């Protein structure tokens, strides 16, 4: 069970400018498995080793970005409790009926202080990963195509009032801070990294004047060699790469940042450390933000700082 019943990131609904281009990118290049299409025109995907029906949902729109980011919770009772806790905290919630998204149960929707829409849900159909639950093989060769991430892992969001976001996620949803970047005053955070598990982060935020912005959605690979392979495949497919392959100081993960055809940034990520709620958060000072983000280059590039959707 998650620290407060929130288990993990569940799905991201992403806006794309051209649906067919998005389907090709996420399905053929990134290598996610398409699991369905609904009457609204949305297209559903999952990574090959995920068991639930979907983790990425594409919707065609006139601007790119993130509609919402959702977390799976332990069960219906947890969903009810967290809905009540959110409302008691002063956060209005909306109930989205089961079936509004394919194979997904009732969701609790709410807006956080950074302007992003979050959702919680307890039920999603288990479609498996191509292997049985009794005596499985190590992996399924036929299911692994393209870059082939293991799972949708986390996201980085840009917006204001991240200290209020932190307070909400800690006090109501049971997240805890693993790392943070402090501005020149030594008190105000530029960035915060939070976990609801033992991962180095399940979600992160950077202070930004515009609300509700997406910096990237991250997909987990199982080794540095797979990150290098991803770089080769991106080059073959003429994917626009932002930076990498390289390594983070924060989280110690290996990474490539690139853009889908609509300009949404995505990350292919490996490594990182395990942590627990009793671990003291790691602090980075603003003068060391270069190696904190890109440990090898030890400096940031302009696109990484400024391009969001």
Q: What is the pLDDT of residue 141?
A: 80
Of 250, 243, 242, residue with least CA distance to 288? 250
- Give me the average pLDDT of each 10-residue run along the chain (309 residues): 80 98 98 97 97 98 98 97 98 98 98 98 96 91 87 97 97 96 93 95 96 97 95 95 88 93 96 92 89 80 81
Told to judge if 158 belongs to the known catalytic residues of this protein, a careful annotator would answer no
Q: What is the pLDDT of residue 1?
A: 40
201, 208, 215, 254: which one is catalytic?
201
Q: What is the pLDDT of residue 79?
A: 98
Q: What is the pLDDT of residue 3?
A: 67
Told to judge if 24 belongs to the known catalytic residues of this protein, a careful annotator would answer no
Q: What is the pLDDT of residue 14?
A: 98
Query: Given the structure tokens 């996201």, which residue do they identify?
Result: 155
248, 276, 296, 302: which one is catalytic?
248
Per DSSP, 249 falls in state: S
Q: What is the pLDDT of residue 301?
A: 79
Q: What is the pLDDT of residue 289?
A: 84
Q: What is the pLDDT of residue 185?
A: 93
Distances (CA, A) of 274 to 59, 197, 201: 34, 9, 9
116, 154, 180, 208: which one is catalytic?
154
Told to judge if 296 belongs to the known catalytic residues of this protein, a careful annotator would answer no
Told to judge if 68 belongs to the known catalytic residues of this protein, a careful annotator would answer no
For the chain, which domains are there? 6-143 (3.10.180.10), 151-306 (3.10.180.10)
Told to judge if 302 belongs to the known catalytic residues of this protein, a careful annotator would answer no
Told to judge if 201 belongs to the known catalytic residues of this protein, a careful annotator would answer yes
In whole angstroms, give the CA distance from residue 12 to residue 7: 15
Phi, psi torsion values for 263, nearest 5 degrees: 95, 0
**Which residues share a beta bridge with 246?**
255
Of 123, 114, 106, 94, residue with least CA distance to 207? 114
Name the pTM for this structure: 0.96
């Amino acid at each position: 069970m998650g620290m407060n019943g929130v288990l993990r990131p569940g799905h991201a609904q992403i806006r794309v400018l051209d649906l067919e281009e998005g389907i090709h990118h996420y399905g053929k290049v990134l290598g996610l498995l398409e699991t369905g299409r609904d009457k609204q025109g949305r297209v559903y995907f999952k990574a090959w080793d995920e068991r639930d029906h979907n983790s990425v949902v594409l919707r065609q729109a006139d601007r790119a970005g993130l509609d919402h980011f959702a977390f799976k919770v332990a069960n219906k009772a947890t969903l009810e409790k967290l809905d009540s806790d959110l409302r008691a905290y002063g956060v209005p919630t909306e109930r989205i009926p089961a079936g509004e998204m394919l194979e997904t149960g009732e969701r609790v929707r709410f807006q956080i202080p950074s302007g992003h829409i979050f959702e919680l849900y307890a039920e999603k159909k288990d479609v498996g990963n191509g292997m049985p639950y009794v005596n499985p093989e190590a992996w399924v060769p036929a299911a692994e195509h393209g870059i082939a991430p293991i799972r949708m892992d986390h996201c980085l969001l840009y917006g204001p009032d991240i200290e209020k976001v932190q307070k909400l996620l800690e006090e109501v949803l049971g997240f805890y801070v693993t790392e943070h970047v402090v501005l020149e005053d030594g008190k105000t955070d530029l960035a915060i990294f939070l976990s609801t598990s033992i991962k180095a982060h399940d979600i992160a935020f950077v202070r930004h004047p515009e609300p509700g912005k997406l910096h990237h959605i991250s997909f987990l690979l199982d080794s540095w060699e797979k990150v290098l392979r991803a770089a080769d495949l991106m080059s073959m497919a003429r994917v626009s790469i932002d930076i990498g392959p390289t390594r983070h100081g924060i989280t110690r993960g290996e990474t490539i940042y690139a853009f889908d055809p609509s300009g949404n940034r995505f990350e292919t990520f490996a490594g990182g450390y395990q942590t627990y709620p009793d671990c003291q958060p790691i602090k980075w000072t603003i003068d060391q933000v270069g190696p904190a983000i890109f440990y090898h280059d030890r400096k940031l590039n302009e696109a990484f700082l400024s391009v969001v959707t």
